[in-house]
Amino acid sequence: MGVCGYLFLPWKCLVVVSLRLLFLVPTGVPVRSGDATFPKAMDNVTVRQGESATLRCTIDDRVTRVAWLNRSTILYAGNDKWSIDPRVIILVNTPTQYSIMIQNVDVYDEGPYTCSVQTDNHPKTSRVHLIVQVPPQIMNISSDITVNEGSSVTLLCLAIGRPEPTVTWRHLSVKGQGFVSEDEYLEISDIKRDQSGEYECSALNDVAAPDVRKVKITVNYPPYISKAKNTGVSVGQKGILSCEASAVPMAEFQWFKEDTRLATGLDGVRIENKGRMSTLTFFNVSEKDYGNYTCVATNKLGNTNASITLYEISPSPAVAGPGAVIDGVNSASRALACLWLSGTLLAHFFIKF
């Protein structure tokens, strides 16, 4: 921040050197820190990156000259600004306080600052240390990855911050396994299918909210059939055989009867594949449809199959309901009524003749 560091003007540098020699450090008088009640600077000042830092120095009416320095560079001498940094401004210059402000603080502003005063031809100094905190930031993290089951996986998450952030890895699984590593590196040996999913890297140093990033691990594994059930249906009815298989990548399905591969539209059947499920539908079951069928699930890592039987069941007899009983009673009553009416007419006929 000093003039000599920015301008290559010998006469200006000579003025600065002379000021340090004549005003701050007179010949033969050593610089002493904290040997009097003044000047008294603040304790260490801690600010976050991007905020403003105020440096205060308490003085009294015996002080004739004051200055703020950053290491050996003069920032302000009295009301005169020696730093060309526009972020450095003077706040207070009174008989009791001498304060400056550094706006939009960055990490390179961190370090010692000195309040120097002159009184009775004796220079005195007081020092304050500026500490700049930086929120955590993840600078480098592994990309999403796809591996085969049984492989080894290493994930990396590098973060910066002041103070140095703590890095943790967490598996965002349905089972809620929680934290799996408190390190920049996450190593998984012989990975299993249930270890797939999202992994969250969190960098925390209590300066600000943690920086969080996610990595997705996809674990490929061969298919296995998790659901295949025999089905019974009557002749002439609709029958459905279903087959469910888990696999990554998703399995492809095929249906066979003995050695013959089945296809949609042939022999009155329809095959539908939706995600993990495949169905074989018979719209009008006939005797020839009964038997054993094979469901085959395949992906690039392998295949598996299951045998499913479509068998015949007898139609269920119709069960008469309350209405049928009433109808039966009504029918019997009507029959008796008709018989009575017929007898009456016949009796009248014989009487008449």
Structure tokens at 27: 């010949």
Which of 221, 249, 283 finishes a domain?
A: 221
- My answer on whether 182 and 165 are in the same domain is yes
- My answer on whether 99 and 168 are in the same domain is no
> Closest by alpha carbon to 98, among 109, 84, 114?
114
- My answer on whether 83 and 55 are in the same domain is yes
- My answer on whether 166 and 105 are in the same domain is no
Find the farthest-apart pair of alpha carbons in the chain and give their distance in angstroms, rounded. Answer: 171
HSE of 131, CA atoms in CB hemisphere, 13 A? 10
Alpha-carbon distance of 31 to 180, in angstroms, equals 55
Structure tokens at 236: 């002439």
Structure tokens at 274: 């939706």
Q: What is the pLDDT of residue 61?
A: 83
Structure tokens at 154: 């290493």
Kindly report the CATH number assigned to the domain that includes residue 275: 2.60.40.10
| Residue 157 near residue 213, CB atoms below 8 Å | yes
| Residue 278 near residue 253, CB atoms below 8 Å | yes
Q: What is the pLDDT of residue 340?
A: 43
Assess if residue 305 is contained within a domain: yes
Alpha-carbon distance of 49 to 107, in angstroms, equals 7
- My answer on whether 119 and 65 are in the same domain is yes
Assess if residue 287 is contained within a domain: yes
Domain that holds residue 288: 230-312
Assess if residue 291 is contained within a domain: yes
Query: pTM (2 decimals)?
Result: 0.69
Assess if residue 51 is contained within a domain: yes
Which of 82, 106, 133 finishes a domain?
A: 133
Assess if residue 100 is contained within a domain: yes
Assess if residue 246 is contained within a domain: yes
HSE of 283, CA atoms in CB hemisphere, 13 A? 8
- My answer on whether 212 and 234 are in the same domain is no
Angle at 266 between CA 283 and CA 296, to 5 degrees: 90
| Residue 309 near residue 227, CB atoms below 8 Å | no
Which of 221, 245, 262 finishes a domain?
A: 221
- My answer on whether 49 and 128 are in the same domain is yes
- My answer on whether 265 and 284 are in the same domain is yes
Q: What is the pLDDT of residue 6?
A: 36
Structure tokens at 63: 């002080």
- The letter for the amino acid at 24 is L
Secondary structure of residue 344 in the 3-state scheme: helix
- My answer on whether 65 and 119 are in the same domain is yes
- My answer on whether 243 and 262 are in the same domain is yes
- My answer on whether 70 and 111 are in the same domain is yes
CB atoms within 10 A of CB 67: 24
- My answer on whether 267 and 237 are in the same domain is yes
Going residue by residue through the chain (353 aa), what tens digit of pLDDT does each one get? Answer: 443 433 333 433 433 443 443 344 333 223 333 344 567 766 789 999 999 999 999 998 888 899 999 988 999 999 999 999 999 999 999 999 999 999 999 999 999 999 999 987 788 889 999 999 999 999 999 999 999 999 999 999 999 999 999 999 999 987 656 668 889 999 999 999 999 999 999 999 989 999 999 999 999 999 999 999 999 999 999 999 999 999 999 999 999 998 899 998 877 899 999 999 999 999 999 999 999 999 999 999 999 999 999 999 988 665 444 444 434 434 444 544 444 445 544 444 344 44
Alpha-carbon distance of 183 to 156, in angstroms, equals 9
Integer CA distances (angstroms), 82 to 8, 129, 161, 322, in order? 14, 20, 31, 108
Task: List the end-to-end C-alpha distance of the chain, in Å, as a whole number.
Answer: 147
Alpha-carbon distance of 77 to 97, in angstroms, equals 14
HSE of 202, CA atoms in CB hemisphere, 13 A? 18
Phi then psi for residue 91, to 5 deg, are -105, -50
Assess if residue 82 is contained within a domain: yes
Question: In DSSP terms, which residues pair with 269 in a beta bridge?
Answer: 282
Query: How many domains is the chain partitioned into structurally?
Result: 3
Alpha-carbon distance of 275 to 132, in angstroms, equals 54
pLDDT in tens, 289-322: 999 999 999 999 999 999 999 999 988 665 444 4
Assess if residue 34 is contained within a domain: no
Q: Tell me the chain's radius of gyration from C-alpha atoms.
A: 46
CB atoms within 10 A of CB 82: 21
